[in-house]
Structure 1
Amino acid sequence: MLPYFLLVFLSPGLVLSSDCPTDCSCPNRDSIFCINRRSNTVPRVSTTTQNLYIFQNGIDNLSQDDFKGLGELEMLDLSQNELEEIPDGVFEMLSKLKNLDLSSNHITHITKGSFSGLVQLERLYLHANRIQSIHFEAFESLGMLLELKLQANQLTSLPSLNFPRLLLLDLSYNNIPALGPSDLQTPHLEALKVASLGLTSVDEDLIASLGNLHELDISTNKLTEVPQALKQDSLKGLIKLSLAANSLGELRVEDFQKLTGLQELDLSGLNLQGFPQSFFQTFPRLTQLTAAENPFNCKCPLAWFPAWLNEKEVILGRPEETRCHFPLVNAGKMLSALEQKDFGCPPTTTVLIGSPIGSTLVPQMPTTSPETTHTNAIPPPPPPSEETVPSKTSYPLPPEPPVSPSSTSGEYEPHICPPNICLNGGTCNFDPQGQLSCLCPTETSGLYCENVDEVPEPPKPSATEVSVVAPVIPAELDAISSRQVTSTSILLDLHRFIETRPHIRGIRLTYRNLSGPDRRPIILSVPASYPEYTLRGLRPNCTYSICASPLGEKINSRANTSVETRSCTEARTEGVAQTLPGHWVDPPSPLTYTLIPALAALALVLGLVVVAGTIICVRKRRTGFGAGPG
């Protein structure tokens, strides 16, 4: 009996049931968890409590009596309740409170006295409320604050935020179209998040005042160019930057030259078709790059990118949403999964001392040595092929000028064709205005001769089509497969899916476009009696992810995951350019076979009529001539 008594007495984590409120859990003497208690009042707790978690309780009102005697409280979580306001002075007795979470309530305004008395507060979370206004003196007593989260409210303006120790400030998803240095007096700020505020520019003086900034999120704003504020010396210590979902025209190396310490970069949704090859040399410490939702031109000038990711061991964020948009042969494919040969680069185009190696069809190529040139909105040239470029030509910029004058006059030096810019044997040239264009062989077409006609060499296109379509439907996911692909529809074969699930009541089909900007999933319910189903109204030249799962069936509790009940595949719709000619050539309808004989017979009858008319006319003339003299 004595050992048991001593065990109870010496166990600091054990709390008597009388000290723990009803419907709450008390893992130790200092912490109380009242989660989903479904009560609109604050529970009575011990005066020694240091950490009080009362979220999802339905609390709709607060008073000073709720916290009487809780002078030792350091953590108070009131998130996900029904609070609409914070009464003045309600927290005045909590002088030791360091963390206050009021997020996900219905608070509409912050008054002057909402946080009075919280002289030790370090973290204040007010995000996901309905706050429209904050009194300009509401934060005056919070001189020790380290983190302030105000994102996802309805703010249109801010009081002057004077926090000498603040490290994190999140104002995202409000409507504050302008911020200046007078708004944020936070000299030690490390993380500033101002996504989706409606910003049209980023104040240079504001960024210059933030000399300790490590993270900057300016995504989903109305920026039309890379902000000049990013050229500030104060950003040399920036580690993480997000420019995602802005309408930036282009990316220039000179706009990022101060950001040499960058480790994480988000360039998603910028409508980029590619990157200048020298762009990422600015970021020697880069470890993670996100470039999803961009219409990449997966041609030879971008062939260096997947190899660069592997060589530098850069992690590509959201790789399944980083796909090619053009040309057709690569449309919908994951950019990081492509190999050098997939970009359509000619196998041998390297030039050594003016003499061609291999079969180069472009006579101007021996004189095109520089790796980086200005090409009038043409994508940057690709890197030299590792198999064909000797070490002597890896960096040909300095030695080339003495060689080129023998074959090129000085007046054409500004217009130099980038290597491999014209595909499939096309010839690069410039018009009188200096615009680059490609002269394509008869069997090719497109701006860069990237399209190859199927008529001259039928076997080759068929092999290419097989190699493109086959990887889209993996063998291991054959429970659901695509048997036919057109420009606007995909025919699904669900036989095996239904056979392996004989008792299903229906099939839930979920599909989404992986190639376009809108990737929201579309859900359909299909009867189990449909072993084949056609998805219609799709976009041409796009890759779709399609998943089938039993309709209304719960996941088996004995299964570790939901993989057993769900089967997925990918399928790509064809391009309009490929399907249109087929529609005109294919239909040998019966009407065609009846019209041709009918037209032939009609032509024969008309011919006989003309001959008969001619004979009659000749006879009449002869008769008339004979009667005249008599």
Structure 2
Amino acid sequence: MLPYFLLFFLSSGVVLSSDCPGECSCQTQGSIFCIQRRSSTVPHVPTATQHLYIFQNGINTLSQDDFKGLGELELLDLSQNELAEIPDSVFEMLSKLKNLDLSTNRITHISKGSFSGLVQLERLYLHANNIQSIHLEAFESLEMLLELKLQGNQLTSLPSLHFPRLLLLDLSYNTIPTLGPSDLQTPHLEALKVASLGLTSLDEDLIASLGNLHELDISTNQLTEVPQALKQDSLKGLIKLSLAANPLGELKVEDFQKLSGLQELDLSGLNIQVFSQSFFQNFPRLLHLTAAENPFNCMCPLAWFHVWLKEKAVNLGRPEETRCHFPLVNAGKMLSELEHKDFGCPPTTTVLIGSPIGSTPVTLTPTTSPETIHTNAIPPPPPPSETTVSSKTDSPLSPEPPVSPSSTSGELGEHICPPNICLNGGTCNFDPLGQLSCTCLSGTSGLYCENLEEVPEPPKPSAEVLIVTHVMPTELDAISSRQVTSTSILLDLHRFIETRPHIRGIRLTYRNLSGPDRRPIILSVPASYPEYTLRGLKPNCTYSVCASPLGERINSRANSSVETGSCTEARTEGVQVPSSASRVETQSPLTYTLILALAALALVLGLAVVAGTIICVRKRRQAKAGKELELGPADPDPMELEGIKASMENGGNGTLPHKQTEIDRCHTPQPPSSLQQNEGLDYEVSLMQGHCPSNNNLTSLKPSYF
């Protein structure tokens, strides 16, 4: 009976304690953790191992014997070691490997055979090395690759990256001053990070070829103006954009009109002094804004910004680095902590003006009242004082012109409330005398509805309910999904990392709850990644994602957040039909109709030529017959006899011979002049003969993987 139990344990991937290498941990099923082992060689592990973590070991060389028999290995983490090179074919026997992490080593060159045999590889991490060159054919066998990270190296050029399935490419912090469409043949790319490459421009053809782009990072380059490439329709699906630390000039509203879908925008270090309120109207879906390291002029033109952040629920990133430089009274203060009164805005004035009835002049006594935009932290101003002014003595401090009444009505003109004058959902209105007042919701009080009762009643509008549930504190150790697209989920791991400050890494396990294949996929993420994007997901599916510290034993049957305490679920969006596909569908019947029309036109022209030829031949015969009557019979022209013979062979109907056409059909003679007017299309149709040799030397297109 015992051999059967042993066979069961071995087949299920459980590593027995006797097979676990020294100084390693084998508590998790199918996974071995050899962390900070301080050895220069790869440990020998059981052949059933699926996930092998051997980072921070001091390994300086690799050989094929190190991975002999590990045909089931799917994840190999060799990061933070002392590797200087990757020997050719060293991973050749790891045919099932999907994740390879070689980051933070000392690798200087990638040769042609460094990754040979890795036909199933999906994620390759080479960042934080000293890579100076990559062989032109180093990545040729990696057609299944989804993520490639090369940031933080010493690259000055790239081989042509042809990855039909690639979703993430990070080339940041290298020296590659130019990138064109021939360099990146990645039609399905979702995230492109090219920060600090020394770019002086962004190639428009390159961006146009990336129609599936969701994230673009072009920060810390030498861009002197907003790239024209950002004005293309291909970027309508862009969700995240970083322009930080570029010597840009003025930010114009028209430069961002195509980016209405942005949810995250980074404008740090752009020497911005003030934002215009109309600028952010381009981004109705904005959720996160970073504007740190800018010399803000915190005066009245910027007073709206703090209120706008609260009203739109926009999260301001790096608030401790977002400070005022001017004026001196606000210098050094955090922009997010200023109140409206700190911006020094003058009070606004509302003037009520009457109109004459008929031809009889009527003098009205309008009421002026200082009006200031407040936040919840600002107490209401004192009640306005009533003064009598004429229509010609408006206050010079009033930024809003008075509203003109109707010239044909005796009623008072309509007034426009200043924006944001009533707080906490209150409604602004005017009484018959023109006095402004606020109608407050239940649970609020005050002149401007600025006071909240200690025990407020349940809010009636559904929007307020959503706000309350949004700000409710979540579980401290829970992970969350902050951004979801049709093929990716952005995970927020801040709370998970904060509650576990001593973890060595994060183990992410995710599975598709909507598909037939619910097998978990496991990834290892460094503890320095507070955010991580899962890519290559299926659209319109619900995914369960769980996080646990690396090396910690977890319950393999745990599928829900109730069992593990650090899981979340997110549903990917549905697939939007690409514009190119719809264009092809709409053009296909049109093209077919056009071909039929051209064929009919060619037939008509052919008949016209034949008819014209017949008429000419008959007239010539009649003329010759008349001459023969006058001069007598003449010797027949041999060429004419040949034509008559050919006509008789074709039925005697006088049509042109076709023998020469059949002989020269497979060559390329000049088309008739009557067909040249249609750019030769009718003539090209006649070349499509089955018995002629093909002249199509184009290589067959590979099928799409998506």
Q: Report deviation, 1:240.
A: 0.6
Q: Distance in 1 between matches of 2:92 and 2:62?
A: 12
Q: Which residue does 2:475 correspond to in 1? A: none
Q: Does 1:129 align with 2:129?
A: yes
Structure 1 residue 7, shift from structure 2 partner:
12
- The 5 A counterparts of 1:590-629 are none
Name the amino acid aligned to 1:186: T
**Residue aligned with 1:38, SS:** coil
Q: Displacement of 1:44 after TM fit?
A: 0.8
Q: How does 1:529-608 map to 2 (within 5 A)?
A: none
Is the CA contact 1:134–1:158 (under 8 Å) kept in the aligned structure 2? Answer: yes
Residue of structure 1 in register with 2:93 after alignment: 93
Q: Does the 8 Å CA contact 1:13/1:27 hold for their aligned counterparts?
A: no
Aligned partner of 2:300 in structure 1 is 300
| Conserved 8 A contact 2:132-2:153 | yes
Aligned match of 1:238: 238
Letter aligned with residue 127 of structure 1: H
Q: How many angstroms does 1:224 deviate by?
A: 1.1
2:262 pairs with 1:251: no
Q: Is the 8 A contact 1:292 1:321 kept in 2?
A: yes
1:156 corresponds to = 156
Offset at residue 16 of structure 1 (A)? 2.1
1:367 deviates by 8.8
Residue 8 of structure 1, CA deviation: 12
Provide the C-alpha distance between the structure 1 equivalents of 2:105 and 2:136, rounded to a whole number of angstroms. 22
Aligned partner of 2:145 in structure 1 is 145
Mapped to 2, the partners of 1:52 and 1:46 lie a distance apart of: 10
Structure 1 distance, partners of 2:196, 2:418, is 41
Match for residue 344 of structure 1?
344
Q: How far did residue 13 of structure 1 move?
A: 7.8
Cα distance between partner residues in 2 of 1:367 and 1:283: 26
Paired residues of 2:348 and 2:399 also in contact (CA < 8 A): no
Separation in structure 2 between the aligned mates of residue 367 and residue 22 of structure 1, nearest angstrom: 77
**1:260 aligned residue:** 260
Task: For residue 313 of structure 1, give the secondary structure of its aligned residue in structure 2.
Answer: coil
Deviation of residue 351 (structure 1)?
Answer: 5.4
The structure whose Rg is larger is: 2
Q: Deviations over 1:144-202 (max 9, x none)?
A: 00000000000000000000100000000000111111110000000000111111111
Distance 1:252 1:126, change over 3 A: same
C-alpha distance in 2 between matches for 1:7 and 1:135: 47
What letter is aligned with 2:330? N
Tell me the residue number matched to 2:368.
357
Shift of 1:211: 0.5
Partner of 1:325: 325
> Which AA in structure 1 matches 2:129?
N
Decide whether the 8 Å contact of 1:60 with 1:81 is kept in 2. Answer: yes
Q: Is the 8 A contact 2:81 2:105 kept in 1?
A: yes
Opposite residue 283 of structure 1, the aligned amino acid is: F
Give the alignment of 1:361-376 within 5 angstroms. 369=401
Q: Deviations over 1:125-156 (max 9, x none)?
A: 00000000001110000000000000000000
- What is the match of residue 64 of structure 1? 64
Partner of 2:171 in structure 1? Answer: 171
Deviations 1:42-69 (A, max 9, x none): 1111111111111111111111111111
Does the aligned pair in 2 maintain the 1:348–1:357 contact within 8 Å? no
Structure-2 residue corresponding to 1:19 = 19
CA distance in 1, matches of 2:231, 2:169: 22
User: What amino acid sits opposite 2:70 in the alignment?
Assistant: L
Q: Following the alignment from structure 2 to structure 1, what is the Cα–Cα distance between the partners of residues 43 and 123?
A: 23
Q: Give the drift of 1:9.
A: 7.4
User: Can you give the 5+ residue segments of structure 1 that lack an aligned partner in the other structure?
Assistant: 371-382, 393-630
CA 303–150 in structure 1, closer or farther in 2 if over 3 Å, else same: same
Residue 269 of structure 1 corresponds to which residue in structure 2?
269
Secondary structure of 1:69's counterpart equals coil
Native 8 Å contact 2:13 2:48 kept in 1:
no
The 8 Å contact of residues 25 and 32 in structure 1, kept in 2 or not, is answered as: yes
Answer whether contact 2:347 2:397 (CA < 8 A) is retained: no
8 Å Cα contact 2:127-2:151 kept in structure 1: yes
CA RMSD of aligned residues (A): 2.9
Tell me the secondary structure at the aligned position of residue 348 of structure 2: coil
Distance 1:294 1:7, change over 3 A: same
Runs (5+) with no aligned partner, structure 2: 355-365, 371-388, 403-416, 431-706
The Cα of 1:363 is off from its aligned counterpart by 6.9
**Match for residue 492 of structure 1?**
none
Q: Deviations over 1:558-606 (max 9, x none)?
A: xxxxxxxxxxxxxxxxxxxxxxxxxxxxxxxxxxxxxxxxxxxxxxxxx
Q: Please give the alpha-carbon distance, in whole angstroms, between the structure 1 residues aligned to 2:163 and 2:60.
A: 30
Alignment-mate amino acid for residue 234 of structure 2: S
Scaled by the length of structure 2, what TM-score is found?
A: 0.51
- Tell me how far 1:15 sits from its aligned partner: 3.1
Q: Please report the TM-score for the alignment, with normalisation by the length of structure 1.
A: 0.57
- Indicate the residue corresponding to 2:118 in structure 1: 118
Q: Contact (CA 8 Å) 1:264, 1:288: kept in 2 or not?
A: yes
Measure, in 2, the Cα distance between the counterparts of 1:321 and 1:84: 39
Q: When the two structures are aligned, how many residues end up with a matched partner?
A: 379
- What is the aligned partner in structure 1 of residue 309 from structure 2? 309
Q: 1:323 to 1:384 in 2, by over 3 A?
A: farther
Provide the C-alpha distance between the structure 1 equivalents of 2:399 and 2:345, rounded to a whole number of angstroms.
19
Tell me, in whole angstroms, the C-alpha distance in 2 between the residues paired with 1:77 and 1:22: 18
Q: Secondary structure at the match of 2:148?
A: strand
Amino acid at match of 2:368: I
One-letter amino acid of the structure 2 residue matched with residue 80 of structure 1:
Q
* Cα separation, partners in 2 of 1:24 and 1:201, compared to 1, 3 Å: same
Q: Structure 1 counterpart of 2:45, which letter?
A: V
